[in-house]
A and B are shown apart, each in its own frame.
Chain A
């Protein structure tokens, strides 16, 4: 490990060529959100300007991520090293199709949340830092999607974790403190496991650069050795905890229904998917042998996660808690893709991640609107919303179809791919579990729609009759702030459902980029890999 045995030409350790101006886009999502968070923090007393500034910065983040994705599609994988130290010495940020796609979708969701938050987060919440925390959360999320250094990935995980703590307890209610205790402790244990595995991996290979580790793992004589298996198992446990896979999922339903609804929406959309992304990155790109070694374990975890998520959702009468369980069921589908591990399966997992980010955020936002219209999150107390707003009932039905994986919406295609990939790999039970979970999800969500929208009024009112009107504060529903984000996300869901080619190609490109890491390694090491 120490330098004496290493023979490297240090004169070529520095990057001397100027960075192409377009390649600065790699770091743009991190810079915009980090500086933007600082600016919003300085504006904390002026809550109106702070909100406008935050939304504008998130819009800028969407544009920068879009530019990055277009550049990645044009030029292939692009890498930028910090401090001009060439890898493996310097920390590398690498944008490939997978990372850039998820960064863009994450940015869109964050922008929608910023707009939605303008109406649901009051001035007290803003003064205590809703927008700075949201921007810094996006720093962590974008950084995790773009980094090519495994310790750096840990740091971004911690950045998004501490921002999520801030968002979770915004408002300081009893229920939030209760949820935050469980979320906080279990997630901290999860990142500590990640750190342990990273320390051990560094002890084996003496490097932290993901591309460098991928090369060194491929050169190993005995890639399924006990030490590496331990590291892989620790990584799996750590990221399963982050992604809320069974049996380490209990922090999610305990906490996701407690904060402000827009915070729940962002969390449900982004946080667990960062765990899944890290799982794809580590297991498919860096440790492919360990993935094959562990694929049965991952497969069974996926099956049980799919079923617990869907069955848990059936047992809830609180809409937000029900949605929390659906997040878990979605994680099971993505894990199924990792378990199979072919290009087809991983592309299905990536497409499903994109779909799940959008649809879970949209569903939480819609449940917030249900609360504003019907005055409750409880299925027993909701009813007659169809009469109150027909368009919203239609939008919610679209979301019900999408989250259940029914055509013609975005959930259908990734499920088809995943089931197909599982059957091709002779994992019949995995494919069956995805279908059963989809069926149970249809039941759970169909019941939400029937009870909250279709029936005449809440429990106790005779059917077909309008309930005595619940006194609700509809002032938040008049502006565009709650409808615009829901509209954007629903439009994306319909677009990906009717025109899946673009996203299919993106996810296939992302998947082949991690299954065959040559392009990634070449980008980091400049052609010699």
Chain B
């Protein structure tokens, strides 16, 4: 099962990178959202996938008798989902405000901070 999910993760990464290479900010943001999901699935798969098994430990043992799903990657993914979701929300608002103020969502034309015809420093004294 890991192989199949790995291929799916690879596809997610490909789509994310393709979208992030775009000049339009909105597409880049979609790419970032997909990238976040790809990373989450990658962490999840790295904890190894197991079929649903109740994580019950018999009374006389310290560890479960059969392999159960690893809970740690789920905790990591949960953390990562919350973080990437909140960052995505922030970047969406930021992109909208930037579109309002700069009048474009094409990153090549966002040249307020680094103007195109930049002055060189004074040459002589």
A interface list, Cβ under 8 A from B:
1-4, 6, 10, 151, 155, 158, 161-162, 165, 169, 172, 174-175, 177-182, 184-185, 188-189, 192, 195-196, 198-200, 202-203, 208, 253-255, 257-258, 314-317, 378-380, 447, 450-451, 455, 459, 463
Which residues of B from 21 to 53 have beta carbons under 8 Å from A?
A: 25, 28-29, 32, 35-36, 39, 42-43, 45-48, 50
Query: Contact at B113–A255, with CB atoms within 8 Å?
Result: yes
Given pairs A182-B107, A203-B45, 8 additional interface contacts (CB within 8 A): A1-B47, A2-B64, A3-B68, A6-B63, A178-B98, A178-B102, A195-B80, A202-B72
Shortest 6 CB-CB distances between A and B: which pairs? A203-B46, A317-B121, A199-B43, A2-B67, A178-B112, A3-B63
Q: How far is the CB of B98 from chain A (nearest CB, A)?
A: 4
Q: Are B102 and A195 in contact, with the CB atoms below 8 A?
A: no
Instruction: Say how far B83's CB is from chain A's closest CB, in angstroms.
Output: 5
User: A177-B97, A188-B32 in contact; A315/B47 too (CB < 8 A)?
Assistant: no
- A181 & B79 in contact (Cβ 8 Å cutoff): no
A177 with B25: in contact, given A155-B83, A192-B39, A203-B47 (CB under 8 Å)?
no
Kindly provide the distance from the CB of A104 to the nearest chain B CB, expressed in whole angstroms: 28
CA distance A202 to B122 in the complex (A): 53
Q: Is the CB of A196 within 8 A of B42?
A: yes
Measured CA separation A182–B69 after assembly (Å)? 39
Q: Which of B73, B80, B90, B98 is the one whose CB lies under 8 Å from A165?
A: B90
Determine whether B66 belongs to the interface, using a CB cutoff of 8 Å to chain A. yes
Contact with A along B52-88 (1 / 0, CB 8 A): 0000000000111111111011001001100110110
Asked if A185 contacts B83 (CB within 8 A), the reply is no
> Contacts A202-B76, A255-B113, A317-B121 known; A3 to B64 CB distance under 8 Å?
yes
Size class of B's contact patch? Answer: 35 or more
Chain B residues with CB under 8 A of A459:
122
A177 near B39 (CB under 8 angstroms)? no
Name 30 A/B residue pairs within 8 A (Cβ), A-sorted: A2-B48, A2-B64, A3-B63, A3-B67, A4-B66, A151-B76, A162-B86, A174-B102, A178-B98, A178-B102, A181-B25, A181-B98, A182-B107, A182-B110, A184-B91, A188-B87, A192-B32, A192-B35, A199-B43, A199-B76, A202-B46, A202-B47, A255-B113, A317-B119, A317-B121, A378-B119, A379-B121, A380-B119, A380-B122, A463-B125
- Is the pair B113, A162 in contact by a Cβ cutoff of 8 Å? no
Q: Answer yes or no: B11 CB below 8 A from chain A CBs.
A: no
Task: Please give, as numbers and ranges, the residues of chain B lying within 8 Å of A378 by CB-CB distance.
Answer: 119
A117 CB, min distance to chain B CBs, angstroms = 22
Q: Shortest CB–CB separation between residue A144 and chain B, in angstroms?
A: 15
* Interchain nearest-CB distance for A189 vs B (Å): 7
CB proximity of B35 to chain A, nearest CB, Å: 6
Complex contact B120–A317 (CB within 8 A): yes
Report which of A185, A258, A315, A455 forms a contact with B120, defined as CB distance below 8 A: A315
| A177 to B104 CA separation, bound complex (whole angstroms) | 12
- In the bound complex, how far is the Cα of B52 from the Cα of A217, in angstroms? 32
Query: What's the nearest-Cβ distance from chain A to residue B7, in Å?
Result: 16
Contacts of A161 in B (CB 8 A): 87
Residues of B near A155 (CB, < 8 A) are: 79, 83
Alpha-carbon gap, A184 to B113, bound state (A) = 14
Are B20 and A180 touching (Cβ within 8 A)? no
Q: Which residue of A lies closest to B64 (CB)?
A: A3
Contact assessment for B113 and A257 in the assembled complex, using a CB-CB cutoff below 8 Å: yes
Q: Counting CB contacts under 8 A, is B5 at the interface? A: no
B52 to chain A, nearest CB (A): 13
Q: Which residues of the partner chain B approach A196 to less than 8 Å between Cβ atoms? A: 39, 42
The reply to whether A174 and B47 form a contact with Cβ atoms under 8 Å apart is no
Asked if B95 is at the interface (CB within 8 A of a chain A CB), the reply is yes
| Assembly CA distance A393 to B87 (angstroms) | 42
Closest residue on chain A to residue B2 by CB atoms: A203
Residues of B within 8 A of A165 (CB): 90, 94
Known A-B contacts A169-B94, A181-B94; the reply to A253 vs B114 at CB < 8 A is: yes
- Interface contact B114-A177, CB-CB below 8 Å: no
Complexed CA–CA distance, A378 and B114 (Å): 14
Contact mask B100-119 → A, CB, 8 Å, 1/0? 01100001001111100001
Task: Check if B62 sits within 8 Å of A4, measured CB to CB.
Answer: no
Q: Which residues of A contact B73 (CB under 8 A)?
A: 199, 202
B residues within 8 A CB of A179?
A: 113
**Looking across the interface, which residue of chain B has its beta carbon closest to that of A314?**
B121
Known A-B contacts A188-B87, A257-B113; A4 and B67 likewise in contact (beta carbons under 8 Å):
yes
CB distance from A517 to the nearest CB of B (A): 23
Distance A158 CA – B83 CA, assembled complex (angstroms): 7
> What residues of A have a CB within 8 angstroms of the CB of B83 in the complex?
155, 158
B84 contacts which chain A residues (CB < 8 A)? 192
Chain A contacts of B62 at CB under 8 A? 10
**CA gap between A36 and B35 in the complex, in Å:** 34
